[in-house]
Structure formats: structure tokens, C-alpha cells
Structure 1
Amino acid sequence: MATKALFNTLVNWFIRQRIDQIEHFIKYPVETQEGLLFSQLFHAEETEYGQKYGFSAISNYRDFQKKVPIVCYEDFEPYIEKARQGCKDVFWPGLIKQFAKSSGTTNAKSKFIPISAESLEDCHYKAGKDMVSIYVNNHPESELFQHKNLRLGGSAEMYQDFNTKFGDLSAILIENLPFWVEIINTPNKKISLMSEWESKMRAIISEVRHDDVGSLTGVPSWMMVLLQRTLQETGRSNIAELWPNLEVFFHGGISFKPYKNQYKELIGKEIRYYEIYNASEGFFGIQDQSGSDEMLLMLDYGIFYEFIPMDKFFSGVQEAIPISEVELDKNYAVVITTNGGLWRYLVGDTVKFTSINPFRIKITGRTKHYINAFGEELMIDNVETALKQTCEKLNANISDYTGAPVFMTSDKKGCHEWIFEFTRKPANIEEFTDIFDTALKCLNSDYEAKRYNDITLRRPVVHVAKPNLFYEWMASRGKLGGQNKVPRLSNDRQYIDPLLELNRP
């Protein structure tokens, strides 16, 4: 009892200290960000990248904006490749020893994101501790530390290449975790680091079915697959029967909207859901209010944020603004400068601010995952909200989906084409299509204008996917696992055409 009391005292002290620090950057957001930027410019001024762009001569944000270019991965790749081959002081002081391999959802080719010692400790691990600190501060009655956390990462095989290592971010994080963190996580490190998905699933279920799980951490779609299979293996009717002490699911990677009702049924009791915004490039946001769908932008993780208004982005203008100039309810592409050595890097996500005191955000989509073939500027956030409304009206559930344009021809107008995999199908797919279409019109005025009297866009085309279609498709692409995501929207037909072909009887 004395040991437990001491542990709780230490945890509570740490949480209070960290909450005070979070409240400080909430109170002084612009000063926090500016201080961070100039600290990093000073830190990296003798690197190859720092000398090329004159970091030592940058004295204010406007200098930084003028001197340092906004880059995507392809622009920055030559520097990353040089660092991967063991060169020091390329874009961050010293040798970068680890790189997170990620295909993401932007390109099919692999990306190698630098993970410095600073980004590992001061961003990724710090965020993991903050996630728990914020939750426990909101819910002091929580028994989180008395039970196991079920984590579900992606493929965790590590590779040695040149003088550096690369692998999934989850592998890097797990390999470097202190031993005391492993005590509260399940499955164990050996199982978590397994790379073959089906074998890994069987091993996870074999271990976790006997554990006392109090929390879940992972991507909603893949966690759902694991939980469903666990119920099948154990013969339980819901997760609460297996893990009665389960109290929270920390989720990220994709929108939770399509899955919320399914999780309520699957778990069988009310638990809390906390969203996190993490990527290989950094950890950006944490839900700081229970029951909210907004995330606090974390401003002291060694990441300096800039934002490109999406109306400019669509027109090809890449002019970024600092956090002090953002507006509410406007879509922005996210640009980051990090303590991993990424400088004005276009991360590929879009967000909108729901609050500026403090700065809270929602993820609205991807800069390359939208439909704008007809000027409708349809983002994932519009679609997820419309689908949630539609499914609630028709008592339907969707597990996966994707959408793309059908381009105009000389004798036919264009439209949007969708393929949905349902866990509970609507009684009438035509009614589903009409309600979904109407919801999109209400949420997106550009879409509504293009759909007016079918002048530009005709009624959407909707297909029902056969069971497990998306799982089979992801498997065929070697994309099974917690860090791989189904592309929801595309401005071309690179995803939907193979899915439609695979869906043929």
C-alpha cells in the first residue's frame, strides 16, 4: 500500500507540473512559438541547410518566411538521403540515427522521416505523457494506472541501412521505451514488434485475452478489427464482459465519426474517447476536453507551425502565415518546422481552428485527398459529417469507403462515385444516396452550387462493397496494419477503380 501511495503521489506531482506548463503556453502561444523557432534556427545554423539558407542572419519571422522555402517531401528528399547515408550536420546538428519509414497516404513511394534524439524525447514521448496527464487531470477518479494499456501499432520490423536504422514509427518508439513503461503496456514488446499482420493478430489476442485492460491506444479501423476478432476467439458478446475496467480509447490516424456508434455496440458500455493527432513527422494535438471533438494544438513540442489557407493552396499559391494570423473555421494546409530537422515542411494535412484562445483544431483532410474536379472543394471533414448524419437517420454503419470523380465526357456530365462497405446496410441504398447528397449540399456551398439543377454535377453514384473488400484490397497492396489508412478521397481514380474491379462478382 505504501508503494502504491508513493507511486500515486509521484504521478500526481508530475501531472500538476506538466499541466502548469501547458497552461503557460496556452497563455503565451505566440511567444512560445517564436521562442521555439529562434532556438531551433540558432541550433541548426551551422548545418548544411542552415548555411544554405542563412539561418544566422534571420532576425524575425518575416526573414524566415522570405529566406527559407516551403518544401514537400520530394523537395527535401536529397537532404534526407544524405543524412540516411551517415552524413552529419545536414539539416540538424549531429548524426540522425533513426528514420520513420512511412508511405502515408500522399504517395505510394516510401518516405523516410528523420527522428532526432530531440524529436523522440521532446515531442513523441512528451506527447505520450501529456496524453495521460491531460486525461487524468480531467478525470482524477481514473484508475488508469491500475490496469493495462492495449496498444496496436503498425508493422514494427526495423531495418539497418547505411549507418542508420529505419522502420515504422511505432517500432522506433517501442524499441526506445524505458522498461517501466513496458510494465503497463500489452502486448509485450516481442509481440508488438512482429511484422506479419495475421500472425501478429493471433499473438496479440492470445496475450491480451487474459489481461486486465483499462485503456486502448490505436487507429479506430484496425483496433476494431482486433476487438472483433478477440470477441470471436473468446466467445464474449461485448468487450466490457472481457475487460470490465476499460475506461478510455485514445485514438488517432483517421476520423472517428464513422466508427463511434459501432464502438458503443462493440464495447457494450459507455467509455471515454480521446483523440490524438500524431504522425511520423511529429505529434501535433491532443483532445483536452472530455466529450469534445477538438484538439489542443501542442505548442511546446519543438514544432513551429505555419498555415496556408486552402483557397490559396488550391490556386497554387503557397504563402504561409504564423499562428497569430489564423482565423476560425477556415481550412489550412499545415506547414511545420521541427526538432527532427524538417524546415517549413508541408506535412500533407489540413485543419481548421475551432478556437483561438486557446488554439484548438479539427483535422479536415489531406492536401492531396480531396475532390475538386469541378470546383466543389470537397474535404474529408464534409464527407465524414454527412455520412454520420446519413447513417444516424437510416440506422446504418460504415466500416470503410472511398470516393472519386467521374469526369465529364462530350455527352455526359460529371459526378462523384463512392464505394461503401457497411457493417449494417441501409434498407434502401437509393434513399441513402439522396440523404448523403443532401447533407453534402448543406455542409459545402461549393458542392451545392455545382449540384444545383445538375448543371455541373449529376447525382452521386453509390456502390455497396462486398464484405472485407477493403481489407482484401489493403492486403493486396501490402498495407495491413495499424499505421496504414484507406484513402478516403481522391481527385483521380487511382484508388476507386481497383476497388471496383475487386468488387465485381
Structure 2
Amino acid sequence: MSLTNIARLFFKPRWSELERHQNDGEALQREVLSNLLAKAKDTEYGRNHLFGATKDYEDFVRNTPINTYEELKGDIDRMRRGESDVLWRGRVKWYAKSSGTTNDKSKFIPVSPEGLQRVHYKGGADVVAIYLRNRPDSRMFDGRGLILGGSHAPNYNLPGSLVGDLSAILIENINPLANLVRVPSKKTALLSDFETKRDRIAREAMSKNVTNISGVPSWMLSVLNRMMEVTGKTHLEEVWPNIEVFFHGGVAFTPYREQYQKLITSPRMQYMETYNASEGFFGIQDDPNDKSMLLMLDYDVFYEFVPMENIELAPEHYNPIPLWAVEKGKNYAMIISTSCGLWRYMLGDTVQFTSTNPYKFIITGRTKSFINAFGEELIVDNAERGLAHACEMTGAVVSEYTAAPVFMGSDAKCRHQWVIEFAKAPDDIDKFATALDKKLQEVNSDYEAKRYKDITLQPLEIIVAREGLFNDWLKHKGKLGGQHKVPRLSNKRDIIDEIIKMNS
């Protein structure tokens, strides 16, 4: 019996457990909330917010405020310095470093032992379980998995306490048995210099029988391109003939899909999206023919959702709703409560449900990643669909992009400005711009209204980026590699102005 068939027997019991997601979503989520409150009732935060007396969701809403990182960072810093029983029971030793807030370069997200096992690792196990269920012919465990991770460092020099990319924390704490079926070596995986790391990964992995790869699409593509340079091959299956799946997450896959399809031409190759972040593991693409993801309801994560029309109001007027009250087709900002001590925490991501039985969704963007300078309410999902259409119309391939508004000047003209790095440039950039603009009008009625007769918004402008511009900008910001990503849309010009300045 092959190792994959043995693994299939191990994962098979989970298949029937996942069936509860079909009809028991509300019950699963109420159980999660009850368990979280019971475990945290004797923490400082739990006592201050009456967790011990909280009987149901309605009590929880009355007793517990909505939080951003700003409200919790003082408590998190105390936890980082070794205090126990603050936001979560016991001492939390691991902190996932995430992109910062207005006032801080970085956020430090607690990763408790329960959160590690019952959120992050449970999500990773379910990805494999669902993939094996959908792919009876899989042989993934008969080879190795390439897992792309970041790096970590000591936390305030406290013994055994680490801060760094979530992926590095996961690799550091992974079951030693998993190291038998993964590459690269732990030492290489945790290197902080990405350019050195990608070269070492390529050289370590090129002779291995790699069947599956996991990571952020942009950084994985950089590693695989280095692999092609080192080996002199054209297609990845020439190096790894048994490659069959890419488990990806962190950024939208649309801008990278065509590049991967050119690099990997094997008809057996599949792509499976996951929604995993420093704050938790939330969704898995459970059907290869459906781009929506299944919301994972029986982890240590309780969900609430703020209708996007309320998001610019004061937090006391957000009026969040529980999962069982959401509607299909509406944009919501996500709020989570987890066993890592994040209580009613504004995640910053926006989602739209495509089904409520089971609960399936797509990520539509970020609460702070949009352009609404002139009432156009352009979100990342609109941008991705517009770019995909423009690429289809012109044969172009987009590597990276960012966009921001150009505000009204002395000529009383406003427009959107896009900086786009192409893996394959269109023959006619004006045709690309027109196709993008028309698709944005098609998918966003507010944008269409503002573009009417060029009265409010002029046609969009595209600046073609030189090769490597976005990597250079990330390197300049100290964010090359790991889980860092290029901001796609911004309502301000600080990011795009920095990038344009480097475009020479």
C-alpha cells in the first residue's frame, strides 16, 4: 500500500465530520463561542467582560466591544513580555508578525498552543483531507511537499518565545514526522534573506520527488523561476514529473494563474485556494470547479460580519451580525474571536457569500484596500476581474499591480492611476486600458456612474512598471519574502508615489 493510501485512511474520518458544515452552521458556531468563553472566563479580559456570566451570543455582544489591533496592542505587548492569563489562558510564547497599522510598522498576533493546533494546523490538515477526498488518484504522500515559509527571531529575548512570519512559527513547531515528507531543510526554510533562501531551496529541492507545493503565489513563483534558472529546464514537470497540486493563499491567484499554467503544463496539475492569515485559518476551496471557499466553522474561530455600508460609521454603529444572519451577494467585513485571544477583532478583510448552505464565500478585498475617492467604491474583486478581462482581450499577463486615485487638479480632472508590471506586456497598452476600464464599469455600477461621459472620472491611466519594480519596492520596505504582499488598491497616494519614484 502506498503512503498516500495509508494517509487517506487517516484523513477519511474527517470527511464525515465536515458534512456538518452542510446543515449545522449555526449550531457549530454557537458551540465554538461557548467553548471559547468557557476557556477564557478566568483571564483578565474574560473577567473584565463577564465571560463567566455570558450565556449566549446576545450577552457576548452586550459585554464585549469590537476591537482593532490598536485596542488590544497594550495587552498583547504585556503578553509578549511574559504575562500570563491576559487575553488567553496561560502564557503565549509565539507571535505572528503581520503588516502594520497607522501607528506601528508591524502587528504582533498572539499564537497560543490551542490556536496553533485547533486553528492553524487543523486548517492545514483539512486542506489535505479535502484534497484527498476530491482526488482519488493522488500520490502526493509518495513524494515530498515544498512548503515556503518566512523567518522568526527571539521575542524580547524571552526563553522559548518567538516572533516572526506565521509560516515560520508553523515550521518551527511542526510534528517532526512531517519533516520526512517536506522540503527544504528547516535551516533553509527559516532563512531571513529571501534571495539567498530561494536559491538554496531551488538547489535542495531540484533532485527531490516533489508532488505538492504550498505558499504565497508571488513568492512561490519567484522560487520556481529560480528553479528553472538553476536546472535549465522550461517546465516544472521536467524537474518534478509527479507534481500535482499547489495549495496557495495570502493573495489573489488571478494575476498569477496564467504564469503558473505556462510554467506547469501537466494536465494533472491542480490549484487549491486557502484562506489562512496570521490571525487564523478560515476557508478552503473544497470544490475544484468552484472558486468559492468553504468557511471552516468548527475551529476555534467565531465569526461576525459587518455590512460594508456600515464600515465607515463609528464602531458602535457597525451593527455586526452572526454567521446565521448573513445574506448571499452582500459585502461584509469580517470580525473574529479566537483561541489566540483576539476578541471581536476587526480582521480587515471583506467577503461575499455565494452560498449559505453550506456557508461558502469569496474574498472581495480589504476594508482599507479600496478606492472610494469620488464615490466609485472600487474593491479588489472588481480590479481582479477587470485585469483578467483585459489580459484575455490583449494576450497580456500581469505580474503585479497597484492603483490609487489622482485627485482633482487645476484642470478639474480626476482619474485612477494604475502601475502594472507585466510578465507579458500587451501589444497595445491603450487597448488594455480600455478593456480594463470597460470591465470595471460592467462589474461596478458606482464606477460606471462616475465614468459617465468622463464628467467625474476621466479614463484610467496605466504606468507600465519596469521588470522587478515591485520586488525592489518590497525589498526597500524590508518586506521581501515571507507573507508580505503588494497593496493592490489604496485611497491615498503614499504607496503609489513611492513605487512610481522607483520606476526608472
- Shorter chain as normaliser: what TM range? over 0.9
Quote the residue 1:274 is aligned against: 272
Q: Structure 1: how far apart are the matches of 2:217 and 2:13?
A: 31
> CA offsets per residue over residues 230-268 of structure 1, 9 Å max, x none?
111111011111111000110000001111111111112
Residue identity over aligned pairs, in percent, reads 47
Are 2:99 and 1:99 aligned? no
Q: Structure 2: how far apart are the matches of 1:315 and 1:372?
A: 15
Aligned partner of 1:377: which letter? Answer: E
Q: 1:427 to 1:8 in 2, by over 3 A?
A: closer
Quote the residue 1:286 is aligned against: 284
Find 1:20's aligned residue among 16, 23, 27.
16
Aligned partner of 2:141: which letter? Answer: F
Quote the residue 1:252 is aligned against: 249
How far residue 291 of structure 1 moved from its aligned partner, in angstroms, is 2.9
Aligned partner of 2:386: which letter? Answer: A
Conserved? CA contact 1:106–1:368, under 8 Å: no
Conserved? CA contact 2:149–2:171, under 8 Å: no
Are 2:466 and 1:469 aligned? no
> CA offsets per residue over residues 57-91 of structure 1, 9 Å max, x none?
22221121122111110111111111111111111
Q: The residue matched to 2:494 in structure 1 has which SS? A: coil
Quote the residue 2:402 is aligned against: 402
Are 2:155 and 1:166 aligned? no
Conserved? CA contact 1:158–1:171, under 8 Å: no
Aligned partner of 1:212: which letter? Answer: N
Q: How does 1:301-450 map to 2 (within 5 A)?
A: 301-316=299-314, 317-450=317-450
Quote the residue 1:151 is aligned against: 147
Q: The residue matched to 1:122 in structure 2 has which SS? A: helix
Q: Structure 2: how far apart are the matches of 1:135 and 1:250?
A: 10
Quote the residue 2:197 is aligned against: 200
Find 1:30's aligned residue among 17, 20, 26.
26
Conserved? CA contact 1:273–1:291, under 8 Å: no
Are 2:233 and 1:243 aligned? no
Are 2:120 and 1:124 aligned? yes
Are 2:297 and 1:265 aligned? no
Q: Structure 2: how far apart are the matches of 1:105 and 1:183?
A: 38
Q: Structure 1: how far apart are the matches of 2:98 and 2:415?
A: 32
Aligned partner of 1:219: which letter? Answer: V
Quote the residue 1:300 is aligned against: 298
TM-score by length of structure 1 reads 0.96
Q: The residue matched to 2:169 in structure 1 has which SS? A: helix
Quote the residue 1:81 is aligned against: 77
Q: Structure 1: how far apart are the matches of 2:443 and 2:198?
A: 39
> CA offsets per residue over residues 338-358 of structure 1, 9 Å max, x none?
011110000111111011110
CA RMSD, aligned part only? 1.5
Are 2:53 and 1:57 aligned? yes
Aligned partner of 1:230: which letter? Answer: M
Q: Structure 2: how far apart are the matches of 1:422 and 1:361?
A: 29
> CA offsets per residue over residues 417-468 of structure 1, 9 Å max, x none?
1100001111111111111000000000010011111121111111000111
Q: Structure 2: how far apart are the matches of 1:369 and 1:80?
A: 25
Q: Structure 2: how far apart are the matches of 1:460 and 1:498?
A: 19
Q: The residue matched to 1:314 in structure 2 has which SS? A: coil
Q: Structure 2: how far apart are the matches of 1:284 and 1:273?
A: 18
Q: Structure 1: how far apart are the matches of 2:56 and 2:406?
A: 47
Quote the residue 1:491 is aligned against: 491
Q: Structure 2: how far apart are the matches of 1:57 and 1:160?
A: 36
Aligned partner of 2:282: which letter? Answer: F
Q: 1:455 to 1:386 in 2, by over 3 A?
A: same
Are 2:196 and 1:179 aligned? no
Q: 1:298 to 1:329 in 2, by over 3 A?
A: same
Aligned partner of 1:116: which letter? Answer: S
Q: 1:239 to 1:9 in 2, by over 3 A?
A: closer
Find 2:109's aligned residue among 110, 113, 116.
113
Q: 1:188 to 1:105 in 2, by over 3 A?
A: farther
Q: How many residues were matched structurally? A: 500
> CA offsets per residue over residues 10-49 of structure 1, 9 Å max, x none?
5233222111111123321100100110111121111111
Q: Structure 1: how far apart are the matches of 2:32 and 2:153?
A: 33
Aligned partner of 2:395: which letter? Answer: N
TM-score by length of structure 2 reads 0.96
How far residue 481 of structure 1 moved from its aligned partner, in angstroms, is 0.4
Q: The residue matched to 2:368 in structure 1 has which SS? A: coil
Q: Structure 2: how far apart are the matches of 1:106 and 1:261?
A: 35
Q: The residue matched to 2:399 in structure 1 has which SS? A: strand
